[in-house]
Amino acid sequence: MVRVLCDLPIECLDDLANLRGIDLVTFGMPDRMPVELVPQPFTVTFDSSRGTWQQLAAALPRGFTPDLVLFFHPEQEPLPGGMHLCAVPVVGVISDYQLTLPNLTALQPCFDVLLCDRHGVQIFARLGHNDVRWFCQYTHNRRLHRRIPGVARDLDVGFAGILNPAVQRDHAGWLARLGNLGTRGIRVEVRHGLYGDGYARFLNRTKSASIGRSTAN
């Protein structure tokens, strides 16, 4: 049994019953991280922006000593003070580093391992991090990627994701070309801000879907 302390309510990604061989404890503030617009519960209520690693360790359930500490998107969420005093491996799951690379560079000494996409592995290795590993973060989610009976497939092509060009600059040109397919009689719909059941239903409507990763998580 691997004991994991994590700052993300993992049940937002999958049912806890599917995490075989893992003893999971999560920590955070109740209103800190709504997922699909719904606040998710944490095992331990803890404000990382004010507390320290020593205080977090003291607040853990009796008998629970983590084998590793896992932070999702540490460039966007505060770390407890004094993480350099943590005696177990500290792992960071990195997401939109193209927007937050200066912050991540400053945080590198806090982590023993970084998990990111293949391009990120090369970037952080060049920046001198000793242990960077590829991690397929945006993949199948059984809560969202499911068949919904009774939903008609009335779209030929659908796109769900962030449309802000400041965040996803490369999307704009491709989405314009995608929209032009409508002049050829192809049924196309581009959406953003879809979560939960609405997101799942949109995917069910499409014969071919392109997923912007920040909408899917």
Dist. CA 210–CA 178, nearest whole Å: 11
Q: Each residue of 198-213: pLDDT tens digit?
A: 999 999 999 876 555 4
24 CB-near residues (< 8 Å, 6+ apart): 4, 6, 10, 16, 43
Q: What pTM value is reported for the model?
A: 0.80
Structure tokens at 117: 């996409």
Q: Which of 72, 101, 134 is the last residue of a domain?
A: 134
Q: Each residue of 144-156: pLDDT tens digit?
A: 888 999 999 999 9
Region at 85 (left for phi over 0; alpha for psi -120 to 50; beta for the rest): alpha
**123 domain-assigned:** yes
Based on the fold, state whether residues 16 and 100 are members of the same structural domain.
yes
What's the one-letter identity of residue 18? N
Based on the fold, state whether residues 53 and 121 are members of the same structural domain.
yes
The pLDDT value given to residue 212? 57
Question: Domain limits at 69?
Answer: 2-134
Based on the fold, state whether residues 112 and 28 are members of the same structural domain.
yes
Q: Strands 132-134 and 113-116, how do they pair?
A: parallel
Dist. CA 208–CA 194, nearest whole Å: 17
Q: Each residue of 82-135: pLDDT tens digit?
A: 998 999 999 999 988 888 888 888 888 889 999 999 999 999 999 988 899 999
**172 domain-assigned:** yes
Based on the fold, state whether residues 63 and 99 are members of the same structural domain.
yes
**61 domain-assigned:** yes
Q: Which of 82, 100, 134 is the last residue of a domain?
A: 134
Based on the fold, state whether residues 41 and 113 are members of the same structural domain.
yes
**145 domain-assigned:** no
The pLDDT value given to residue 144? 82
Based on the fold, state whether residues 65 and 107 are members of the same structural domain.
yes
Question: Residues 44, 48, 54, 57: what is their CA dihedral angle, to the nearest 10 degrees?
Answer: 20
* Torsional sign, CA 136, 142, 144, 148: positive
More confident residue, 50 or 217: 50
Residue 167 has pLDDT above 50, yes or no: yes
Based on the fold, state whether residues 46 and 121 are members of the same structural domain.
yes
Count how many domains the chain has.
2
Which among 165, 217, 153 is positioned nearest to 189, based on CA atoms? 153
The pLDDT value given to residue 217? 36
More confident residue, 62 or 8: 62
Based on the fold, state whether residues 83 and 162 are members of the same structural domain.
no
**144 domain-assigned:** no
Based on the fold, state whether residues 30 and 120 are members of the same structural domain.
yes
Based on the fold, state whether residues 72 and 105 are members of the same structural domain.
yes
Question: Highest mean pLDDT: which of 114-118, 134-138, 180-184, 193-197?
Answer: 114-118
Based on the fold, state whether residues 105 and 185 are members of the same structural domain.
no
**150 domain-assigned:** no
**149 domain-assigned:** no
Q: How far is CA 60 from CA 32, 54, 112, 202, in A?
A: 19, 10, 21, 40
Residue 59 has pLDDT above 70, yes or no: yes
Residue 32 has pLDDT above 90, yes or no: no
**67 domain-assigned:** yes
